[in-house]
């Protein structure tokens, strides 16, 4: 394999991995604060659709990108609000939000564009693809530092481990969880923006294709740390890139096997990484 081939493979891995990375950082934040985030998939969908929609009407892709992030944050806020004020079962609420977001985007396509499946082409920010990739990696490093070394990070973790102790220390666990969930939504929304306006210039039904769930897997594999989750997300990106690179080059290997490669790798990783997962102690448990 030549050097240029390796480099293009790594470049592709970064591009494919970044949306998963962004969403997984959101997942780490909300789960460390104590909110299980099954809704990453819906938040990415909402972010991607809103970004394409707003970019179409304003003809300004940057406003579209900001709108996508904001809508993702709004969805995260709804999950956080229901989880903190209504004490909902967070997994059930998350599944509901995923259904609402995918259905809402499908409906929005008909309602606004009068066509099913895909938006027209919209102004995009393809030139910002690489800055966004770098931003994602920097964010992972910053969040890692903030979570483990700053008072704010300590407070956030306290809410996920023992909200009663956090309360006793003068922290409002409900406010922290709500904020973490909204920021998580914003990050997942940015992942959706990356797909819709960074890589492409449209939204189409099913374009998120389970990346939100993969991000959730990255959170768990990365043991609820930003750098860990980011690393796993980029490995998923690499496996996806490998699949493109190998397709058609190895005759005896069926291409469907290559498509399943990232998932098979994840299963094998699960085999090896036994018993080393410990989720935040109060994750998923309503407070008070």
Interacting residues toward another protein by CB under 8 A: 82, 85-93, 95-104, 106-107, 109-111, 116, 205, 210, 213, 216-217, 220-221, 254, 256-257, 259-260, 262-264, 266-267, 270-271, 273-275, 277, 284-286
Is the CB of 117 or the CB of 131 nearer to another protein? 117
Beta carbon of residue 137, minimum distance to another protein (angstroms, whole number): 23
Is the CB of 151 or the CB of 275 nearer to another protein? 275
Is the CB of 250 or the CB of 267 nearer to another protein? 267
Beta carbon of residue 210, minimum distance to another protein (angstroms, whole number): 7
Torsion angle of alpha carbons 192, 179, 74, 213, nearest 10°?
A: 40
C-alpha 162: how far from chain center: 25
Beta carbon of residue 215, minimum distance to another protein (angstroms, whole number): 11
Beta carbon of residue 78, minimum distance to another protein (angstroms, whole number): 9
Cα–Cα dist 194/19, whole Å: 6
Is the CB of 193 or the CB of 217 nearer to another protein? 217
Is the CB of 60 or the CB of 205 nearer to another protein? 205
Beta carbon of residue 211, minimum distance to another protein (angstroms, whole number): 12
Is the CB of 7 or the CB of 250 nearer to another protein? 250
Beta carbon of residue 123, minimum distance to another protein (angstroms, whole number): 25
- Report CA-CA distances (Å) from 96 to 91, 159, 213, 223: 9, 24, 14, 26
CB atoms < 10 A from the CB of 273, how many?
12
- Report CA-CA distances (Å) from 218 to 108, 118, 200, 227, 274: 30, 28, 24, 10, 15
CB 69 within 8 A of CB 94: no
Cα–Cα dist 188/179, whole Å: 14
Residue 184's nearest CA partner among 96, 80, 272, 54 is: 80
């Amino acid at each position: 394999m030549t050097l240029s081939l390796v480099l293009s493979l790594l470049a592709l891995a970064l591009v494919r991995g970044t949306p998963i990375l962004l969403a997984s950082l959101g997942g780490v934040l909300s789960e460390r604060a104590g909110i299980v985030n099954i809704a990453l998939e819906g938040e990415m969908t909402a972010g991607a659709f809103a970004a394409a929609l707003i970019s179409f009407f304003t003809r300004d892709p940057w406003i579209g990108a900001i709108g996508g992030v904001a809508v993702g944050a709004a969805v995260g806020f709804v999950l956080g609000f229901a989880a903190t004020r209504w004490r909902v079962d967070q997994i059930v609420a998350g599944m509901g939000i995923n259904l609402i977001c995918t259905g809402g985007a499908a409906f929005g396509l008909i309602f606004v564009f009068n066509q099913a499946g895909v938006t027209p082409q919209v102004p995009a920010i393809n030139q910002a693809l690489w800055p966004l990739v770098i931003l994602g990696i920097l964010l992972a490093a910053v969040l890692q530092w903030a979570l483990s070394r700053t008072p704010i990070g300590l407070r956030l973790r306290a809410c996920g481990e023992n909200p009663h102790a956090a309360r006793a220390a003068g922290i409002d666990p409900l406010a922290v969880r709500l904020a973490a969930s909204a920021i998580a939504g914003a990050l997942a929304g940015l992942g959706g923006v990356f797909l819709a306006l960074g890589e492409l210039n449209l939204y189409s039904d099913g374009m998120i294709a389970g990346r939100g769930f993969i991000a959730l897997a990255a959170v768990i594999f990365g043991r609820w740390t930003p750098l860990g989750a980011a690393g796993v997300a980029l490995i998923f990106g690499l496996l996806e890139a490998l699949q493109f690179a190998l397709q058609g080059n190895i005759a005896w290997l069926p291409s469907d096997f290559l498509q399943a490669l990232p998932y098979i790798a994840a299963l094998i990783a699960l085999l090896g990484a036994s018993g080393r997962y410990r989720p935040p102690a109060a994750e998923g448990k309503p407070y008070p």
